Amino acid sequence: MLAATWTERGDRLYQIANTEPDLDETSHQVTLAIAKNPASTADVLLRLANGTPQSLLSRLVSIHSDPPPIAEEIGIAIVRHPNATDAVLEAITEPFGTDLADHFEHVAAEIAQSRLLTPELAKRVGTHRRSAKQLAQNPAIHLYLAAHPHLFQEMSYEAQKSLVRRSDATEALVRRAAEEGSKGLRAAAAQHEKLPPELIEELAFDEMRLVRRAIAMRNDLQEAVVRALASDPHPIIRQTVALKAPNCPESVLQELGQDAAGSVRRAAATHANCPSSLLSELAQDDRPSVREAVAKNPNTPPPDLRRLSDEEEERAVRTGVAQNKCAPGPTLRKLSVTDVYSVRLAVASNTGAPPDVLRAMVEDEAEERRIRLRAQASLQRLSEA
């Protein structure tokens, strides 16, 4: 039986590597041992990796729809070997082209992060999310992109997207994705902090909803862009503006608060800038989810919170009031003795509740242990404030 010990000489290993494998478990173990042996030279590794019909990895794929795990171990050992060269890595990938990750995802990921990465390898690996992320983190890829701008277009979509999403992506790369990329790349560029202002405005009118929503999620939008997105024909965009735009003008929130879509009205009710007058209107909305959002908003007038706390059939609305740090003390006192567990727990967690209410909950031996502990923790936070 062939062996590949740590002390085997390079020429002997080359002889073993050139032996026609039987593709049984024994030959797998011998090949793995050679791949891990520090004495294996680049020629030995190249023989193991060589994309010929006799190559173990390519033959396993042609024979088995699901190659054994040891095949991936062999590939990883070859890539990690200190004597490996870029020619060895290219030999591993050549029989598979861009399909390597379909069969050996972890091997592709190892190559993607290797110091031996070449432009050709960058095109072949990175087709799956794992290897694409590793490729985008490899310092070499940024040097190649700077020297060969066309390389970006020849890379897989997953690799392109991972590169654009990185915080250290260049403005030129982000701009290129925004102007020339697919909808997924435009959406990735739309969220990047290096996207130029003129392209932010342009993408706000993109034909794809995915891209417009990505723009709506930014926290640095100019008022004109916010107003444009607030008038978008799709409710998910208007909802995102109400949820994410920190500088959303009150006039825009007024419009969104009267939107035909309940999800948009609910989003408007959650905004920190939502005016009290609008919250009073939305406190009477026919959708419980909208009233729940009103109940949680600290800008909601006390009379509305008192009325919402009386909604016996809407537990979520009453819980929202119980969570509100600006709810009137008498209202929280009343909710602290309700028969609804989630409402009492919310009061116990509310550091805006009167201290005597929290102490009463701690001292009530009939109360649930979790609620008593939560009230004790709230009292502790109040004493430390």
The rounded distance, in Å, linking the Cα atoms of 374 and 300 is: 25
The rounded distance, in Å, linking the Cα atoms of 146 and 106 is: 27
- Residue 21, pLDDT > 60, answer no
The rounded distance, in Å, linking the Cα atoms of 80 and 333 is: 65
Q: What is the pLDDT of residue 28?
A: 76
For 205, what's the count of Cα atoms within 13 Å in the CB-facing half-sphere? 8
Mean of pLDDT values over 288-293: 97
- Residue 22, pLDDT > 60, answer no
The rounded distance, in Å, linking the Cα atoms of 46 and 68 is: 21
- Sign for the CA dihedral angle at 367, 371, 377, 379 comes to negative
* Tokens standing for residue 153: 């277009």
CA dihedral (225, 230, 234, 236) in degrees, to 10, reads: 100
Mean of pLDDT values over 34-63: 72
- Residue 24, pLDDT > 90, answer no
Residues 6+ away with beta carbon under 8 Å from 170: 142, 146, 194
* Tokens standing for residue 87: 């020619």
When pLDDT is cut at 50, 70 and 90, the band that residue 62 belongs to is: low
Least confident of 31-35, 60-64, 239-243: 60-64
Residues of the chain with pLDDT > 70, as a percent, come to: 88
Q: What is the pLDDT of residue 52?
A: 43
When pLDDT is cut at 50, 70 and 90, the band that residue 182 belongs to is: very high
Q: Convert 80-111 into a string of H (helix), E (strand) and C (coil).
A: HCCCCCHHHHHHHHCCCHHHHHHHCHHHHHHH
Burial of 97 (0-12, 13-18, 19+ CB in 10 A): exposed
- Residue 266, pLDDT > 70, answer yes
Least confident of 92-96, 165-169, 253-257, 303-307: 92-96
* Tokens standing for residue 27: 């030959």
- Residue 193, pLDDT > 70, answer yes
Which residue from 294, 323, 287 is spatially nearest to 308, judged by alpha carbons? 294
Q: What is the pLDDT of residue 94?
A: 80
- Residue 29, pLDDT > 70, answer yes
- Residue 326, pLDDT > 60, answer yes
When pLDDT is cut at 50, 70 and 90, the band that residue 16 belongs to is: very low
Residues of the chain with pLDDT > 90, as a percent, come to: 68
Please, what is the average pLDDT of the chain?
A: 88
Q: What is the pLDDT of residue 61?
A: 60
- Residue 18, pLDDT > 70, answer no
Least confident of 58-62, 149-153, 240-244, 303-307: 58-62
Question: Where is pLDDT greater, at 68 or 206?
Answer: 206
pLDDT in tens, 216-230: 999 999 999 999 999
DSSP symbol at 50: -
* Tokens standing for residue 116: 């031996």
pLDDT in tens, 121-176: 998 888 888 889 999 999 999 899 989 888 998 898 999 999 999 999 999 999 99
Q: What is the pLDDT of residue 67?
A: 65
pLDDT in tens, 342-355: 999 999 999 999 99
Q: What is the pLDDT of residue 382?
A: 92
- The whole-model pTM stands at 0.78
- Residue 25, pLDDT > 60, answer no
Highest mean pLDDT (candidates 6-15, 19-28, 366-375)? 366-375
Q: What one-character-per-residue DSSP string does 177-235 give?
A: HHHHS-HHHHHHHHT-TTS-HHHHHHHTT-SSHHHHHHHHT-S---HHHHHHHHT-SSH
- Residue 65, pLDDT > 90, answer no
Would you say 13 and 41 are in contact if contact means Cβ atoms under 8 Å apart? yes
Question: Where is pLDDT greater, at 25 or 302?
Answer: 302
* Tokens standing for residue 107: 């091997």
Least confident of 61-70, 83-92, 332-341, 365-374: 61-70
